[in-house]
Amino acid sequence: MRKMTSCLWMVVLALLATAATLPAAGLDRAALLKVADDYLAAMVAHDPAKAPLAGDVKMVENVKRIKPGEGLWKTASSLPTDYKIMAADPINQQVGGLVVMGNGQTPAQVGFRLKLVNGKIVEAEHLVVVLDKNNPMGNPDNPNLKKHRPALLLEVPYEYADSHGRMIYIAKSYYDALDNNNGHLAPFASDCQRHENGMRTAPSGGPALGGTSIPGTAAPKPGLSGMQDCTTQISSGTFQYIESIDNRRVDIADTVTGLAIGFSHFHHPMTQKKFKIVNNPDRSESDMSNQKPFDMPSMHIYKIWGGKIHEIEAVGIMAPYNSPTGWE
């Protein structure tokens, strides 16, 4: 009897030890999305106490370390409406999105990421582009910034859904493709379309490029390069001015909608002013003699299903060359 009791106690102690080593249960997808909504609402209310912030939360906005109550916390004036792309990752306990929201008297395109531990936000990251007619990085009249593309938030049918790990792998491959000027390093779908700061930048060329339908702007002339899809555009050498892409982080993969979110830091030293472009019927050389060195901290959202990237929605800001990331 004593031996049996002793064995039972050993089993109980073993179970308790195992339970102590298990990670705390995290928030599910719906709860993470609610945290994101509450976070945005807290910023509009200018009240950090309304968001579940950890006491030692790390917060970075436009590559600068800020404190709760600073930056967008001071200027946010209204919640996003029709342009709102959100993704949640219960496995990594992170949530993020790309929205257009009020920012004082002007709207702003805002990319953000939140990391949670035990239900509290321990990391918050913002990329903020003020939308202004004089800002080449964001025109408030651009229809692409009025409403997000509907397909982005559609749920992916089970037959076409990719696993969490596979989505992160595919999203990361985008940076390798750019870094090596080889579009075949990422699995782009033939219908892949990329928007950057509201401008359609791939497929390249054709009447829908950039701000075609922006009131008061002329449509670009249709060109044969409109045949360049996401793969061939990168392989043509168009992005040779990118020296490196650092601080790559793809920590959010939403398996419901097939959205993966990545943050990164592009470096452009502009030491090479001219470079050859291949397989482009409209041009054989790119001349960037007037471009000064710069960095571009960026956020990309990838729509992934069937093992391929179908849509990309990105936002980036201009920063001095070799700027710190804010996470040092």
| Each residue's pLDDT expressed in tens, for the chain with a length of 328 residues | 555 445 444 544 444 444 433 345 799 999 999 999 999 999 999 999 999 999 999 999 999 999 999 999 999 999 999 999 999 999 999 999 999 999 999 999 999 999 999 999 999 999 999 999 888 889 999 999 999 999 999 999 999 999 999 999 999 999 999 999 999 999 999 999 999 999 999 997 554 443 333 333 344 454 544 468 999 999 999 999 999 999 999 999 999 999 999 999 999 999 988 989 888 777 788 888 899 999 999 999 999 999 999 999 999 999 999 999 999 9
Alpha helices in the chain (DSSP H): 2-21, 29-44, 72-75, 164-179, 230-235
Distance CA 26, CA 149 (A): 30
CA distance 6 to 178: 63
Which of 3.10.450.50, 3.40.50.10090, 3.40.50.620, 3.40.50.2300 is the CATH number of 151-316? Answer: 3.10.450.50
Q: Do domains 29-130 and 151-316 have the same CATH topology?
A: yes
pLDDT digits (tens, 9 = 90+) for 212-263: 333 333 444 545 444 689 999 999 999 999 999 999 999 999 999 999 999 9
DSSP state of 210: B
Provide the CATH topology of domain 29-130: Nuclear Transport Factor 2; Chain: A, (3.10.450)
Beta strand 308-316 pairing with 188-196: parallel
Predicted confidence at residue 281, as pLDDT, reads 75
* Residue 85 buriedness (CB in 10 A; 0-12 / 13-18 / 19+): buried
Domain residue ranges of the chain, discontinuous segments joined by +: 29-130, 151-316
Contact 251, 94 (CB under 8 A): yes
Omega before 157 cis (within 30°)?
no
Nearest to 171 by CA among 187, 191, 148: 187
- Whole-prediction pTM value? 0.87
**What is the per-residue pLDDT for 269?**
96
258: nearest Cα among 300, 301, 303: 303
* Residue among 277, 295, 297, 169 at smallest CA distance from 223: 277
CA distance 184 to 162: 19
